Amino acid sequence: MIKYIFREVSRGLSLGLRRFSDVKVTENVADSPAFPHLTEQASLYVHWPYCLRRCTYCNFNKYIPKEVNEDIMAKCLQRETETLLQLSQISCITSVFFGGGTPSLAHPSTIAKILETVSKQVYLSDEAEVTLEVNPTPVGMSKLKDFHFVGVNRFSIGVQSLQDEHLKSLGRDHSYLEALQTLEEARRLCPGGVSVDIMFGRPEQTIESWSNELSEILRVCDDHVSLYQLTLERGTQLFKQVHCGQVTMPTEEMTAEMYRCARKTLQQHGFQQYEVSNFAKNNSESRHNLSYWKGKQYIGVGPGAHGRFVPIGEGGTAREARTQTLEPDVWICEVQQRGHGTRRRIQLGHLELLEEVLVMGMRMTKGINHKHWELFNPELGLHEIFGASPVVQELLQSGQLILDDRGLRCSWDGLALLDSILPVLLLELDKQSFPKAAS
Ligand SMILES: C[S@@+](CC[C@H](N)C(=O)[O-])C[C@H]1O[C@@H](n2cnc3c(N)ncnc32)[C@H](O)[C@@H]1O
Ligand code: SF4
CA distance 93 to 291: 11
Q: Is the pLDDT of residue 10 over 50?
A: no
Residue nearest to atom 6 of ligand 2 (CA): 55
How far apart, in whole angstroms, are the C-alpha atoms of residue 341 and residue 75?
A: 13
**Protein residue closest via CA to atom 2 of ligand 2:** 101
CB 186 within 8 A of CB 157: yes
Q: Answer whether residue 327 is part of any domain.
A: no
CA of 110 to the centre of ligand 1 (A): 22
Helix (H, G, I), strand (E, B) or coil at 132: strand
pLDDT at 91: 96
Q: Which domain-ending residue is among 292, 308, 343? A: 292
In a domain, 153, yes or no: yes
State yes or no: pLDDT of 28 exceeds 50: no
More confident residue, 8 or 93: 93
**99 touches ligand 2 (CB under 6 Å):** no
**Closest-approaching ligand to the CA atom of 182:** 1
Q: For residue 78, is pLDDT > 80?
A: yes
Angle between helices 418-433 and 5-12 (to 10 degrees): 50
Helices 418-433 and 350-361, axial angle in degrees (round to 10):
150
Question: What does the pLDDT read at residue 34?
Answer: 43
Note whether 263 and 392 are same-domain residues: no
Lowest mean pLDDT of 28-32, 295-299, 326-330, 367-371, name the range: 28-32
Give the pLDDT of residue 32.
Answer: 44
Q: Lowest mean pLDDT of 22-26, 268-272, 342-346, name the range.
A: 22-26
Q: Going by DSSP bridges, is the β-strand pair 92-100/41-48 parallel, antiparallel, or unpaired?
A: parallel
Distance, in Å, from the CA atom of 196 to the CA atom of 157, rounded to the nearest integer, reads 5
Is residue 38 very low, low, confident or very high in pLDDT (cuts 50, 70, 90)? confident
| Nearest residue by C-alpha to atom 19 in ligand 1 | 231
Pocket test for ligand 1, best of 56, 160, 199, 226 (most atoms within 8 A of CB): 199
Asked, for residue 376, whether it belongs to a domain, the answer is yes
Cα–chain center distance at 42: 14
User: What is the percentage of the chain residues whose pLDDT exceeds 90?
Assistant: 88
Q: Are residues 260 and 155 in the same domain?
A: yes
Question: Model confidence over 56-73: pLDDT tens digits?
Answer: 999 999 999 999 999 999
What pLDDT is stored for residue 21 in this prediction?
28
pLDDT tens for residues 111-163? 999 999 999 999 999 999 999 999 999 988 999 999 999 999 999 999 999 99
> How much is the pLDDT for 375?
94
Determine, yes or no, domain membership for 307. no
pLDDT at 306 exceeding the cut of 90: yes
Q: What is the pLDDT of residue 25?
A: 29
Q: Is pLDDT of 411 > 60?
A: yes
Query: Does residue 259 share a domain with residue 408?
Result: no
Name the residue of 62, 105, 231 whose CB sits within 8 Å of the most ligand 2 atoms, as the mutation to test its pocket.
62
* pLDDT above 70 as % of the chain: 90
24 — pLDDT class (breaks 50, 70, 90): very low
Question: Over the chain, what is the mean pLDDT?
Answer: 91
Residue 437 has pLDDT above 80, yes or no: no
CB 53 within 8 A of CB 170: no
Residue 226 one-letter amino acid: S
- State the CATH number of the domain containing residue 157: 3.20.20.70
Position 262 in a domain: yes
Q: What is the mean pLDDT of residues 77-87?
A: 98
Judgement on whether residues 143 and 54 belong to the same structural domain of the protein: yes
Give how far the C-alpha of residue 369 lies from the chain's centroid of Cα atoms, to the nearest Å. 21
Distance 148 CA to ligand 2 centre (A): 22
The domain boundary residue, chosen from 264, 292, 320: 292
**Which of 2, 23, 17 is closest to 316 using CA atoms?**
23
Number of domains in the chain: 2
- Mean of the pLDDT values across residues 3-18? 34
- Give the pLDDT confidence score for residue 203 in this predicted structure: 96
| In a shared domain, residues 269 and 379 | no
Q: Is 294 helix (H, G, I), strand (E, B) or coil?
A: coil
The pLDDT-based confidence of 36 (bands split at 50, 70, 90) is low
Query: What pLDDT score does 39 carry?
Result: 86
> Does the beta carbon of 161 sit less than 6 angstroms from any atom of ligand 1?
no
Ligand 1 pocket test target in 63, 197, 289 with most atoms within 8 Å of CB? 197
pLDDT at 37: 62
19 pLDDT above the threshold of 60: no
Question: Ramachandran region of residue 196, left (φ > 0), alpha (ψ -120 to 50) or beta?
Answer: beta
Give the residues across from 224 on adjacent strands: 195, 280
292, 315, 343 - which closes a domain? 292
Same domain, 379 and 287: no
Counting ligands in written order, which one lies closest to the CA of residue 104? 1
Distance CA 392, CA 423 (A): 11
pLDDT at 6 over 90: no
175 φ/ψ angles, rounded to the nearest 5 degrees? -105, 170
CA distance 413 to 306: 31
Determine the residue of 7, 53, 58 to mutate for testing ligand 2's pocket, defined as the one with the most ligand atoms within 8 A of the Cβ atom.
58
Asked if 127 and 220 sit in the same domain, the reply is yes
Query: Quick one: 266 and 403 in the same domain?
Result: no
Same domain, 269 and 165: yes
Q: Which residues form the domain of 393?
A: 369-438
Domain membership flag for residue 341: no
Average pLDDT over residues 86-102: 97
pLDDT at 156: 98
Asked if the model's pLDDT at residue 356 lies above 60, the reply is yes
Q: Is the pLDDT of residue 13 over 60?
A: no
Judge whether 261 lies within some domain: yes
C-alpha to C-alpha distance for 381 and 75, rounded to whole angstroms: 46
**DSSP assignment letter at 63:** B
* Between 437 and 199, residue with greater pLDDT: 199
Inside any domain, residue 7: no
User: How many helices and strands, by DSSP H and E, does the chain display?
Assistant: 20, 15
Cis peptide before 101 (omega within 30 of 0): yes
Measured from the alpha carbon of residue 157, the closest ligand is 1
Average pLDDT of the residues in 175-191: 97
Q: How far apart are the CA of 384 and the centre of ligand 1, in A? A: 39
